[in-house]
A and B are shown apart, each in its own frame.
Chain A
Amino acid sequence: MLAQQLLNGLVVSGVYALFSLGFTLVFGIQRILNLAHGAIFMTGAMVAFYTVKGGGPLWLGFILAILASGALSVLVEIVCFRRLRKTGDEEFGGIISSIGAGLVITTIAQQVSSTQVLRFPFETFPVVIFKFWGLRVSMLQLFMAGAAIILVLILGYYVYRTAFGRRIRAVTDNEHAAMLMGINPNFVYSQTYFLAGALAGAAGVLVGLAFNSITFLMGEPYLMFAFAIIILGGLGSIPGALLASLVFGMVQTLTIAYLPSGLTDTIIFASLFLILLVRPHGILGKEDAGNLRGRR
């Protein structure tokens, strides 16, 4: 029973990692908390659903979802944040602006889906269950874990091994110095937002498949959990977000399995509060938490 729960927790962790990596990437590079991230996640699920409904295969839906949510994320950056960064009020303004973007996207999705719960047609993803060592694993779970691992590896390679990744890290460290080295920060920002949105969109499709229920509000709980994850991992830290997703997915699965069900959220958010108190910069974050100004 415990091993089974741990296994389920591992799969859930993968989805959380995809969602919160983009969230923390954007925060790391711009110091902006993008509250529209949940809506972008939801868009991914919706695009995949409508592709499948329109007769397309699932893999096409998956790719379209990634592209669409990446593009939407770039759009959010250009419309909501670009002007704010010039005025230097992005910390407060960014939250307000992205709440606005999230509202617009979710309301449009609400109208498109007529406020209904959308479900993939039966057998969109083959229901196959493997059994070994007394554990039950579905093909879908394997696919989710596999997709999460591959996407995270791609992201890691991109950020830590390519010239583009060096540019991202340069701009994260110091935008002004990066500009002097001939890096166009706006271009780097657009690429980062695309990556963040694409990962969120992929997570959206996986969650949509796993629970087979897609609603316009499905991003909201994930956004709340992502708060807890990126605080735990340290705002802006990629390895931190990965580690925290793992811890969070496990803890959540175990609390649901072994503690009174109504209290899961209370425990999660109370522990978020405790982390903020004891170690505001998280497990792997830098120590400048709470002192975000003076970076430029």
Chain B
Amino acid sequence: MSGIIAGYLPLFDLYLIHVGLAFSQYIVLRAGVFSLATAAFAGIGAYTAGIFAVNLGLHPAIGLLAGTLTGMGAAIFLSIPLARLRGVYQAIATVAFIQICLSLNVYSESLTGGAMGLNNIPKTVGTGTLFVFAALATYMIWAIERGRLGRAFNAIRQDEAVAASLGISITRHQMLAFAISGALAGLFGGLEAYHAYALDPNQFGFHLLITILSYVILGGRNTVLGPLVGCAILIILPELARPLAENRMVIYGVMLIVVINYVPKGIVDTALDAIRARRLKMREETVS
């Protein structure tokens, strides 16, 4: 029995790290920012944490803190120019940012190991630590959603003009969303660094962007449950159907097309809406 669990432990670790990254993507989309920069922030956090451990030999806690802070710093820095752009333009700018990070990473070989990657990072993070951080991140996102901030994000996403007329500063809130996104991505990037022994520059490119985006699109963009469920499905699915594992990217691709066309809110949100509608109907029936 324990053998089976141990066999699936790496999968669970992957899930915990990717849940954190999915929340990083989720929070910006929720605030109405079409940023795809999570992969870059994760890369920045991971490399900072990795370099702190390998080159400076510091305690992992300091490395994680540094990863979180640099991720957040990069996000705040990026949010200033992005405040002037909307929609497609934001998406393009953030993709350009990912490309800049990738090529700078390969170029500064003495610091980051260049194309060879950063190796021999001491493994100091286990499943327990990952679980604690993933739980904390989930709680934080849940708390934001329940509070004033979540409602402000909703207002901005639905109509910026209305939000502004209600006294919600769009620039400040979107910067805040970016800061949270960057901090989460930096933190979980750092955890990835201390969990995986080695980092590869291409790990934080277009591929990661698509993977993370798929979690959020599939699950849903309006509830905490969305990224949790989307991430679980997309990580477990290729494992359940081993012959399909080779075609993982086809599954992702077809899933993206089908979900955005037919269940545009994501499966969790659509299901929750259906449940709510049914409850409302039942209540009406009992009243009448």
- Residues of chain A at the chain B interface (Cβ within 8 Å): 27, 31, 33, 79-80, 83-84, 87, 89, 91-93, 95-97, 99-104, 106-108, 111, 220, 224, 227-228, 231, 235, 260, 262-266, 269-270, 272-273, 276-277, 280, 289-292
Contacts and interface: CB of A to CB of B under 8 A. Distances in A.
Given A99-B213, A104-B250, A273 B260 contact: no
Contacts, number: 125
A112 B86 CA distance: 39
B99 A100 contact: no
A27 to B, nearest CB: 8
Nearest to A220: B206
A100 B88 contact: no
Interface stretch (B4-12, B102-110, B138-146): B102-110
Contact of B256 (A103, A106, A260, A264): A103
A264 B104 CA distance: 10
A49 to B, nearest CB: 22
Contact of A103 (B92, B253, B261): B253
B263 to A, nearest CB: 11
B91 interface: yes
A191 B87 CA distance: 26
Nearest to A39: B253
Contacts of A96: 213, 217, 256, 260
Nearest to B93: A276
Given A103-B249, A103-B250, A273-B96, A95 B257 contact: no
Interface residues of B, number: 38
Contact of A292 (B88, B99, B106): B88
Given A79-B257, A280-B89, 4 more contacts: A106-B249, A263-B107, A266-B103, A273-B93
A13 to B, nearest CB: 20
Centre residue among A89, A104, A277 by max chain B CB count within 10 A: A104
Interface string B209-239: 0100100010000000000000000000000
A235 B256 contact: no
B131 interface: no
Contact of A101 (B88, B95, B106, B257): B257
B243 to A, nearest CB: 13
Interface in B183-216: 206, 210, 213
A273 B86 contact: no
Given A273-B96, A273-B100, A280 B260 contact: no
Centre residue among B87, B106, B262 by max chain A CB count within 10 A: B87
Contact of B86 (A262, A263, A292): A292
A269 B253 contact: no
A93 B97 CA distance: 21
Nearest to B257: A100
Interface string B239-282: 00000000101101111110011101000000000000000000
Interface in B5-26: none
Nearest to B250: A107
B100 A103 contact: no
9 contacts: A87-B264, A89-B264, A92-B34, A97-B257, A101-B253, A104-B249, A107-B249, A273-B81, A280-B89
